[in-house]
Amino acid sequence: MPLAASEVDVNKQFSLTEFLYRRAFPFELNSKGELVPTQLESFSFAKEVEGAPSFLRGAYANANDVVHQECAGNKDVSACSVFQMMVSELPGSIVTGDGKRQYSLWPVHKPLILCGAPCVIGSHLHDDPEKAYAKPSHAVVTELKVQICTALNMRGAVQ
């Protein structure tokens, strides 16, 4: 069973070597079993950080937890593959196509009641001293998809 929210420390810092796990549906993969950035289903950002792309924290989960119904909103995701990357492999920042804005990216722990491991990829404008969450532009999200898929594909599916 995955750890519940009451069993994890939401204030624990992410280490650079901590794994982040992400599930992939079969239609998100090409014939070689690699993630395809344009086919990622739930990789978008909302107005609030909770709506950012989700992963599971390696500090509180393993690859099996990613396809466990408790960590998937009670959905059957048993057909999914599981990919992993380290926190250090997240892009630190991405600049918009026009070069006018730079977004910094970092993992934010957002546990669910029955699964304490979920986190999302937060973003803020690089020059914001408050580091308030800011929904990135479409071009930044597109570049982030490419960079995330590259990092996840380096290791291949772990399950």
State the pTM of this model: 0.93
Q: Where are the domains of the chain?
A: 5-155
C-alpha 39/C-alpha 145 separation (Å) is 10
Per-residue pLDDT of the chain (159 residues; tens, 9 = 90+): 799 999 999 999 999 999 999 999 999 999 999 999 999 988 899 999 999 999 999 999 999 999 999 999 899 999 999 999 999 999 989 998 888 899 999 999 999 999 999 999 999 999 999 999 999 999 999 999 999 999 999 999 998
